[in-house]
Amino acid sequence: MPHQIAIVDFGMGNLHSVQRKFIRIGARTTITSDPDVIGRSDKVVLPGVGHFQRAMENLRQMRLLEALNDARARRIPVLGICLGMQLMANRSEEGDADGLGWLDAKIVRFKVDDTIRFKVPHIGWNETAQKKKSALFKNIPDRAEFYFVHAYHLVANHEAIVLCETEYEYRFVSAVESENIFGVQFHPEKSHDVGESLLQNFIGL
**Is 82 assigned a catalytic role?**
yes
Distance of alpha carbon 203 from alpha carbon 50, whole angstroms: 26
Is residue 82 a contact partner of residue 191, using CB atoms and an 8 Å limit? no
**Is 164 assigned a catalytic role?**
no
**Is 189 assigned a catalytic role?**
yes
Catalytic residue among 122, 150, 153, 187: 187
Catalytic residue among 51, 82, 145, 169: 82
Catalytic residue among 122, 150, 164, 189: 189
First-to-last C-alpha distance (Å) of the chain: 15
The set of catalytic residues is 82, 187, 189
